[in-house]
Amino acid sequence: MRILSSDVVSHIGETVRIEGWLHKKRLLGGLTFINVRDRRGLTQVVIKDKDEVEKLRGLQIGTVLAVEGVSTEEPRAPGGAELHDAKLEIMVPVTDEPPIEIDKPIQHKAENLDTLFEYRTLNIRNLQEQKIFKLRGSLTRSIRQFLDEHEFTEIDTPKLLAGATEGGAEVFKLDYFGKEATLAQSPQFYKQMMVGAFERVYEIGHSYRAEPSATSRHLTELTMLDIEMGFVSGHEEVLDMVGDMTQHVLREAYDKHGDDLKSLNAPDLKLPADGKVPRFTVAQIHEMYTKATKNDTTKEKDLIPDEEKWICEYARKELGSDLVFATEFPIEAAKFYHMVDAERGVVFWGDLLFRGLEIATCPLREHNYDKMIEQMTKAGLDVEHPGYKYYLQAFRYGLPMHGGCGFGIDRLVEKTIGLANVKEATLFPRDINRLAP
């Protein structure tokens, strides 16, 4: 009967069996230590019998083996216990030398990320590397819990679409039984349609963008949290919801995984004392940034990357918040589905910035059918195209005022840990240059 590494300490004096991977050998002559890795972590095994040590000759790290031994209390052992009088059983011998070392810190230097992904299958066996993805799983679990508690219905929407749904980002086109299909750039239209049924919906799924963007914050296949909420009173309510959720999720991550985050060198978490994520309009940020840096951005419609970093540093230092909203984007930035404030020349659109990076966009949508037709026609879109026709049905037959967000999970993980590149937060990243593994 197999027990797991973390349970060895609770079987002192008993003969137990562990199964796992050979993680490390240390031969000290008459005494050999090996570490065996399983899904919970490592077990230290002490081997004195020469014949048992000999079983390991020629076998590399990664060898799958079982060890039977006496669980022994030992303060010098990691975890306070280790196995003595070990009998080894080799289950899957590995004789090829692994191309990288997995028992030491895995390099995340920008210029070596290519090697990181080339040997992802192996470096993910590194316990430190695993923490990134355990944290990622924990973050999405926490998001689901929060949204479930707030009566959001989780949905799944198709990623194969009949056509480009919007003029903005580049789409991947593919052959679909002789017809042209595209990969979804976001579940936006579907989640809006579902507001007409469930009021509140969310989806955690993949989106695909054919942007030729070679930067540290772009992926061609990304994981998005998409939220849409009906019967909102206005943009403020959308911003509050996303702000509250993000604070809750971050606080929970730091509570549950504080040690892991510390060992990953994550920054301390700073959240606003009053629980309200500070917000600045784009115009305000341009003004503040221009004044502080003498670099005039007042003519820009969007925030430039350096402004995102600057306002985040400002918010952390002056307002004690790692989160900040940039709101009221100029009307020129509006897409046809956005609700605009024509009088003030702004669009109800807020970007949530976290530690220097945009992690979510939170707009209010236009929900009036006639106005949608008007805005789409103005944008030069064919309202009869299957990509829009069914979308518009939802508006025609009644949608309340609604808004939500597209929230980049990869970026959230990246910035929570303090990684330098969004790809480091992704198991098998897809970018302009990489399609495997």
Please give the residue ranges that form the binding site for RNA (CB under 7 A). 24-31, 33, 44, 46, 48, 57-58, 60-61, 74, 76-78, 82, 84, 97-101, 103-105, 107, 109-115, 164-166, 168-170, 184-188, 207, 209, 211-216, 218, 302, 304-306, 335, 361, 406, 420-421, 431, 433-434
CB of 345 to RNA, least distance (A): 19
CB of 177 to RNA, least distance (A): 22
**Which of 94, 88, 226, 100 has its CA nearest to residue 155?**
226
CB atoms within 10 A of CB 268: 9
The strand order across the sheet containing 346-347 reads: 329-330, 346-347, 340-341
Q: Which is nearer to RNA, 186 or 327 (CB)?
A: 186
CB of 84 to RNA, least distance (A): 7
CB of 140 to RNA, least distance (A): 18
Q: Which is nearer to RNA, 253 or 303 (CB)?
A: 303
CB of 241 to RNA, least distance (A): 17
Q: What is the 3-state secondary structure (H, E, C) of the chain?
A: CECCHHHHHHHCCCEEEEEEEEEEEEECCCCEEEEEEECCEEEEEEECCHHHHHCCCCCCCCCEEEEEEEEEECCCCHHHEEEEEEEEEEEECCCCCCCCCCCCCCCCCHHHHHHHHHCHHHHCCCHHHHHHHHHHHHHHHHHHHHHHHCCCEECCCCCEECCCCCCCCCCCEEEECCEEEEECCCCHHHHHHHHHHHCEEEEEEEEECCCCCCCCCCCCEEEEEEEEEECCCCHHHHHHHHHHHHHHHHHHHHHHCHHHHHHCCCCCCCCCCCCCCCEEEHHHHHHHHHHHHCCCCCCCCCCCHHHHHHHHHHHHHHHCCCEEEEECEEHHHCCCCECEECCCCEECEEEEEECCEEEEEEEEECCCHHHHHHHHHHCCCCCCCHHHHHHHHHHHCCCCCEEEEEEEHHHHHHHHHCCCCHHHHCCCCCECCECCC
CB of 149 to RNA, least distance (A): 25
Q: Which is nearer to RNA, 103 or 252 (CB)?
A: 103
Residue 331 identity (one-letter amino acid): I
Q: Which is nearer to RNA, 207 or 321 (CB)?
A: 207
CB of 16 to RNA, least distance (A): 16
Q: Alpha-carbon distance 361 to 122, whole Å?
A: 35
Torsion of CA 417, 422, 424, 425, to 10 degrees: 60
Query: Phi/psi of residue 89, each to 5°?
Result: -130, 115
Q: Which is nearer to RNA, 271 or 419 (CB)?
A: 419
Q: Which is nearer to RNA, 244 or 302 (CB)?
A: 302
CB of 403 to RNA, least distance (A): 13
Q: Which is nearer to RNA, 265 or 433 (CB)?
A: 433
Q: Which is nearer to RNA, 68 or 74 (CB)?
A: 74
CB of 178 to RNA, least distance (A): 23
- 137, 316, 325, 388, 415 from 267: Cα distances, Å: 20, 11, 20, 44, 9
Q: Which is nearer to RNA, 316 or 411 (CB)?
A: 411
Q: Which is nearer to RNA, 13 or 30 (CB)?
A: 30
Q: Which is nearer to RNA, 35 or 416 (CB)?
A: 35
Q: Which is nearer to RNA, 159 or 371 (CB)?
A: 159
CB of 251 to RNA, least distance (A): 25
CB of 242 to RNA, least distance (A): 13
CB of 86 to RNA, least distance (A): 12
